[in-house]
Structure 1
């Protein structure tokens, strides 16, 4: 993962600007006939903006019985017609039993949401970290033995984002894993001082969020990240050089796009009850829609703050509260109980730098609405074609593959399985329906990158190999149900005990992984 240095403070974020995916905030479908001499052409564009909305009463309890007519949506102050409405009852687990014991079971839950609890061990002082851990333990004690939603527990440290416990509904499994986990000491907190020295931590934090988004792209429902910790450090706008400031804001915007594309909402919980840093008030017109930094809305109180990403993704920022366990419970509840609204903007904009504000209200008095406060328009088809013609960024490919390969996170953007046929001989299969096929002179083709990494009993990488593959079909790619299977040979050393295969779709950037114990 990219790291910044003190003598070149913006290297880290220039790398992020190159590595993160193109902005995707809403889905756009365009049809543009070829121009004909002397005849006017018609360009038709349809945008569908979807927004997840949580509604609570004055006591913080979810309000679950609202109908479509109870909501009003405005974009840039203009009323919008709600074309799609889905109540919280449609985002529930299909059964009250224990369906999920690992990420392999997530295909059983349909469009139900999942919770991802993240312990921030890079930005949080050790004393606050201890307080946060205790609060998480108290929160878990109040939950049923079989959790309502599948829940995973991750941590981000000075060196990596990793798994404490995989997705499960077994509360005892999470409690046992948390008890065994020894937190990393946040040495970067005191290693340097000044805004420019904070960039490595900021880069690591954004990288963890993007990695979570990429790993969870295959989960159909909403992914609610409850981030327990301070998040990346605030950046003083007045003390930051303009070129570095632009790189930072671009990196945050691209990270936010990655979260939105994967349907991830961020709920931030700051365990420091005495922190004097002002936290943005999401009830006011702030967050991503506030401020005046080239219209990006990333500035609040003269500083770029981690909490602004919560409002931009439909989550919420909790802070200055002694009852951290209750804040964790609120974050999980707010993320799980949501309505989904969809509308087509009355005024379409292609300007990717122009932030479009969303305001959602309900007719019922005494309620509070939590929803993302706006979006940047998605990349236009013409821009996307230009990028595709230029070819993929090699650094991005290497970053996606190596990050996934060295992690224990299960990546499910692609459905990948692997089998060991004999010593050093494997087959890797990918579900064709998740692959993005592109047109070719005869049918459609897909391009896939495969990386294999072997690990020792101490989880040290001891071998790796990569290969490129192309598939073609003349059939209807919209209804493909088959698998693509490739033979992969790996020179496996005797010290290896497991092997991880990572597959990346070159066209879409989706990533899938499969892990095997080596016989």
Structure 2
């Protein structure tokens, strides 16, 4: 284990240059459902077969959905996973731009009536996209709002106020391209907000249509609107980066076959599902089920894969009767940054993020340092099922970074320390670690102004990351 100073620029310590530096990975988050629409949670990597542009792929890392009771916390022990179930966040977007005038009032009143019937508003948020392209929060995305279970009960007052004010606005005669820009920007803005939350993230998009505009730079394109339209690559890359699925929802109104196809393709582009004229409560429950049956799969398609083109991905499940819901194509945008720079960017995001990330489970128990020294002793346990531990010759090895950072109540303080961890486990140790977590301990001196400490774990093989923040004063 080596210890170095980590500057905010993450400059030339040389430590990151020694990392495995993986190439860009394709990450898929399939939801597995049985014939009755119930989550299937016991699949293995061998049950999945992946073909990317006719090329069979080898799964590099595979993570099952978490559906076990959370382990009880000891005194002064903290975790980035307060529940044993994969978390989930959903934002409902009422899109006035993409609702026909004749349908807008009916959808408004239907949603007004249905939202108070939700079983819980926990981790559910609500926005209106008005005719001017502004996102208006009814129940805004924020960590404090996540635990509010009862907000749907009083939503009608705020929703009606926004809708009445927005309905008085006369929609300017905007072209189709401007309509596309406003729609995609709203979806991307919501995705960027959801990215701060752990687990699965969905936008339930209430709309009765989708306008598209052919890309003039592709005059001979013979694909569908995803491959041939303006701004779709940017939308696809943004939603994939933020791990957000869009679930189109035609609540009230008639949908033509062409619109039905477009909405289906939006869902398949992002890993969502198209819902049509179904009860709001049932739809929200079904969207939430995606977290229960959601898997994570990483594969490395190779450096020649990233060619600025759309790629189709075909994923099948070997188990009969299992249906998979996932994105079926992605835009292979090249990333010109060196692999080390990509890793630095992930570390910086976790370092500066206002909330903890939970792609890797992290538990930390703290105790005082001896002789009254300022600081804490850290007893850290990492969930090994979230790591890529390679087996060779009967031994299991991995490569991790651990950052330990002092923080004020709102932001990082000073420079964190970086620990380079290279666990090597025997078969017996591997069994024990899988049961109890991958352990390591570290003394961390704190500054006088530090009120919190954040521990960040990054898997050097996959760039997956997790963090846990706790008070020290």
The offset of 1:190, in angstroms, is: 6.7
Inter-partner Cα distance in structure 1 for 2:240 and 2:104: 28
Residue aligned with 2:256, SS: coil
- Alpha-carbon distance change, 141 to 92 in structure 1, aligned in 2, over 3 angstroms: farther
Match of 1:154 in 2: 127
Match of 2:57 in 1: 80
Residue aligned with 2:123, SS: strand
Q: C-alpha offsets along residues 397-430 of structure 1, whole Å, 9 cap, x if unaligned?
A: xxxxxxxxxxxxxxx97329xxxxxxxxxxxxxx
Inter-partner Cα distance in structure 2 for 1:63 and 1:163: 35
Is 1:210 aligned with 2:188?
yes
Inter-partner Cα distance in structure 2 for 1:335 and 1:481: 42
Aligned partner of 2:254 among 274, 284, 292: 274
- Alpha-carbon distance change, 130 to 313 in structure 1, aligned in 2, over 3 angstroms: same
Residue aligned with 2:211, SS: coil
CA contact (8 A) 1:135 1:324 kept: no
CA contact (8 A) 2:127 2:138 kept: yes
Inter-partner Cα distance in structure 2 for 1:70 and 1:108: 29
CA contact (8 A) 2:23 2:302 kept: no
Q: C-alpha offsets along residues 366-417 of structure 1, whole Å, 9 cap, x if unaligned?
A: 332210112223433358999xxxxxxxxxxxxxxxxxxxxxxxxx97329x
Aligned partner of 1:122 among 78, 82, 97: 97
Q: Which has the higher contact order (CA 8 A, sep 6+)?
A: 2
CA contact (8 A) 1:188 1:201 kept: no
Aligned partner of 2:240 among 260, 266, 288: 260
Aligned partner of 1:60 among 21, 26, 37: 37
- Alpha-carbon distance change, 342 to 59 in structure 1, aligned in 2, over 3 angstroms: closer
The TM-score with structure 2 as length reference comes to: 0.56
- Alpha-carbon distance change, 78 to 244 in structure 1, aligned in 2, over 3 angstroms: closer
Inter-partner Cα distance in structure 2 for 1:83 and 1:280: 35
Aligned partner of 1:415 among 354, 358, 364: 354
- Alpha-carbon distance change, 205 to 132 in structure 1, aligned in 2, over 3 angstroms: same
Aligned partner of 1:339 among 290, 294, 311: 294
For residues 24-173 of structure 1, what are the structure 2 equivalents within 5 Å?
46-90=23-67, 112-137=87-112, 139-140=114-115, 142-144=117-119, 146-147=120-121, 149-159=122-132, 160-166=134-140, 167-173=145-151
Residue aligned with 1:208, SS: helix
Compute the RMSD of aligned alpha carbons: 4.6
Q: C-alpha offsets along residues 125-166 of structure 1, whole Å, 9 cap, x if unaligned?
A: 34423333444456545543x45x511111111231121013
Q: Which moved more, 1:326-335 or 1:175-184?
A: 326-335
CA contact (8 A) 1:85 1:339 kept: no
- Alpha-carbon distance change, 362 to 32 in structure 1, aligned in 2, over 3 angstroms: same
Match of 2:207 in 1: 229
- Alpha-carbon distance change, 252 to 141 in structure 1, aligned in 2, over 3 angstroms: same
The offset of 1:177, in angstroms, is: 2.1
Inter-partner Cα distance in structure 1 for 2:156 and 2:446: 40
Q: C-alpha offsets along residues 257-301 of structure 1, whole Å, 9 cap, x if unaligned?
A: 1111111111111235423251465xxxxxxxxxxxxxxxxxxxx
Match of 1:377 in 2: 332
Aligned residues: 330
The offset of 1:90, in angstroms, is: 4.9
Match of 1:317 in 2: 274
Inter-partner Cα distance in structure 2 for 1:199 and 1:413: 35
Inter-partner Cα distance in structure 2 for 1:262 and 1:481: 34
For residues 401-480 of structure 1, what are the structure 2 equivalents within 5 Å?
414-415=353-354, 473=415, 476=418
Inter-partner Cα distance in structure 2 for 1:369 and 1:315: 11
- Alpha-carbon distance change, 189 to 355 in structure 1, aligned in 2, over 3 angstroms: farther
- Unpaired segments ≥5 residues, structure 1: 1-29, 34-42, 96-105, 282-304, 387-411, 417-469, 486-519
The offset of 1:45, in angstroms, is: 5.4
Q: C-alpha offsets along residues 80-114 of structure 1, whole Å, 9 cap, x if unaligned?
A: 2223222333599999xxxxxxxxxx996796111
